[in-house]
C-alpha cells in the first residue's frame, strides 16, 4: 500500500544518512478553474485505534499490527507561537468573478481576497490500515477518509445574523508523493482529494498535499520545529520496517507545511487547492 511504504522508506533513508494532503485530476477534456488555495498551514495530529495494545493497555496508534482500525485527527495551530491565534489564511482572489458561494442563508457570493482562519481540522477514519512495509499482499486495507473543516474570521449573514464563514469537505488520502518519479526515494508528503459538501465554495473540488511527520511529546523541546513540546519520532516509523509485530506505533504527528515544504525531509508541499468545473 503506497500510503505507508514511502514514509517508512523516507525515515529509514534519513536515519542512515545521519540525519503520512494535485492528485485526483479532472477527467480528460474537462474545463476546471482554480478558485482558491491555502498554503503553509500547520496542524498537530493524533492517531487512535479502537484496539488496545496489550503491551501498554492503551489504544494503538498507526501500528504494524494487522486488522486494526484507526481514527486520525489533526487541529490547526499557530506555526510560530505556542497557543497563538495566527493559524494562517486561504486566498480566494476571484470569488466575485467566479461566483463562489458563501455559507450564508440565503446563499450569496463570497467576497474576494485573503481569508484568515480561526480554526481548521481534519478527522479521518479507516476500518483497517497499518504501517507494516513487509505486508504487501493485504488487499483488505482501506485508505483513511473523512472531513476537512475550516472556519474563517470573516462573516456572512445567516437568517439575518452574522456568522463566521465556514466550509466542510469530504476527503480521501491517496498516498505519498513521488516528486522525482522514483518509488525508492523518500517522501513524507501525503496527497489527498475530495469535494466541498457544505458551506463556502460548495461543490468545489479539493486537492491537497500535507506533510506527515511522526512526533513524540517532549516538554524540554521549546522551539517551533517540529513544534513546541514535540520532537520528531523516527524510532516509531522505523519499527514499521522490522519483521517483529508490535514494535511500531505512531500516536502523534505533524500535518501541513512550513515554508512550502515538509519539516522532516524538506519535500515540496503544494498545500490545499480548490477548483470549480464548467457549469
Would you list the DSSP string of 13-76? HHHHTT-----SPPPTT--EEEEEEE-S-EEEEEEE-SSEETTTTEE--EES-SS--EEEEEEE
Angle subtended at Cα 74 by Cα 130 and Cα 14, rounded to the nearest 5 degrees = 55
pLDDT classification of 10: cutoffs 50, 70, 90: very low
Query: Is 80 exceeded by the pLDDT of residue 255?
Result: yes
pLDDT, mean of residues 82-111? 97
Distance CA 7, CA 175 (A): 9
Position 239 scores a pLDDT of: 79
pLDDT, mean of residues 77-100? 97
Query: Is 60 exceeded by the pLDDT of residue 126?
Result: yes
Position 49 scores a pLDDT of: 97
pLDDT, mean of residues 72-88? 97
Residue that wins the pLDDT comparison between 96 and 9 = 96
Q: In the structure grid, which three cell numbers stand for residue 262, read together?
A: 515538509
pLDDT, mean of residues 192-221? 97
Of the spans 131-145, 178-192, 214-228, which averages the highest pLDDT?
214-228
Query: Is 70 exceeded by the pLDDT of residue 201?
Result: yes
pLDDT classification of 279: cutoffs 50, 70, 90: low
- Around Cβ 72, how many Cβ atoms within 10 Å? 25
Position 14 scores a pLDDT of: 38
Task: Indicate the domain borders of the chain.
Answer: 2-204+226-277
pLDDT classification of 234: cutoffs 50, 70, 90: confident
Of the spans 52-56, 86-90, 263-267, which averages the highest pLDDT?
86-90
Question: pTM for the complete prediction?
Answer: 0.88
Position 131 scores a pLDDT of: 82
Distance CA 240, CA 131 (A): 6
Distance CA 74, CA 77 (A): 9
Position 16 scores a pLDDT of: 31
Query: Is 80 exceeded by the pLDDT of residue 4?
Result: no
How high is the mean pLDDT of the chain?
A: 88
Query: Is 50 exceeded by the pLDDT of residue 141?
Result: yes
Residue that wins the pLDDT comparison between 58 and 240 = 58
What is the percent of the chain where pLDDT is above 90?
A: 70
pLDDT classification of 23: cutoffs 50, 70, 90: very low
pLDDT classification of 31: cutoffs 50, 70, 90: confident
Q: In the structure grid, which three cell numbers stand for residue 225, read together?
A: 520545529
What is the percent of the chain where pLDDT is above 70?
A: 89
Amino acid at each position: 500500500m503506497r500510503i505507508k511504504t514511502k514514509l517508512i522508506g523516507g525515515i529509514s533513508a534519513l536515519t542512515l544518512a545521519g540525519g503520512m494532503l494535485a492528485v485526483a485530476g479532472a477527467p480528460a477534456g474537462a474545463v476546471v478553474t482554480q478558485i482558491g488555495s491555502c498554503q503553509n498551514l500547520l496542524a498537530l495530529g493524533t492517531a487512535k485505534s479502537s484496539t488496545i495494545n496489550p503491551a501498554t493497555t492503551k489504544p494503538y496508534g498507526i501500528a504494524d499490527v494487522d486488522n486494526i482500525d484507526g481514527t486520525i485527527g489533526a487541529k490547526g495551530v499557530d506555526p510560530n507561537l505556542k497557543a497563538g491565534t495566527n493559524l494562517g489564511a486561504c486566498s480566494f482572489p476571484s470569488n466575485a468573478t467566479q461566483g463562489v458561494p458563501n455559507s450564508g442563508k440565503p446563499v450569496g457570493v463570497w467576497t474576494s481576497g485573503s481569508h484568515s482562519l480561526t480554526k481548521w481540522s481534519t478527522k479521518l477514519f479507516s476500518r483497517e490500515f497499518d504501517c507494516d512495509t513487509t505486508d504487501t499482499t493485504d488487499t483488505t486495507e482501506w485508505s483513511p477518509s473523512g472531513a476537512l473543516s475550516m472556519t474563517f474570521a470573516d462573516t456572512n449573514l445567516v437568517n439575518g445574523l452574522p456568522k463566521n464563514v465556514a466550509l466542510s469537505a469530504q476527503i480521501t488520502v491517496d498516498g505519498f508523493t513521488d516528486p522525482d518519479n522514483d518509488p525508492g526515494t523518500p517522501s513524507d508528503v501525503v496527497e489527498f482529494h475530495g469535494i466541498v459538501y457544505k458551506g463556502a465554495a460548495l461543490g468545489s473540488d479539493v486537492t491537497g498535499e500535507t506533510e506527515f511527520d511522526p512526533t513524540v511529546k517532549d516538554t524540554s523541546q521549546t522551539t517551533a520545529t517540529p513544534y513546541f513540546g514535540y520532537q520528531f519520532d523516527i524510532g516509531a516509523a522505523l519499527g514499521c520496517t522490522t519483521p517483529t509485530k508490535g514494535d511500531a506505533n505512531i500516536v502523534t504527528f505533524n500535518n501541513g507545511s512550513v515554508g512550502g515544504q515538509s519539516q522532516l525531509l524538506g519535500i515540496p508541499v503544494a498545500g490545499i487547492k480548490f477548483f470549480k468545473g464548467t457549469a
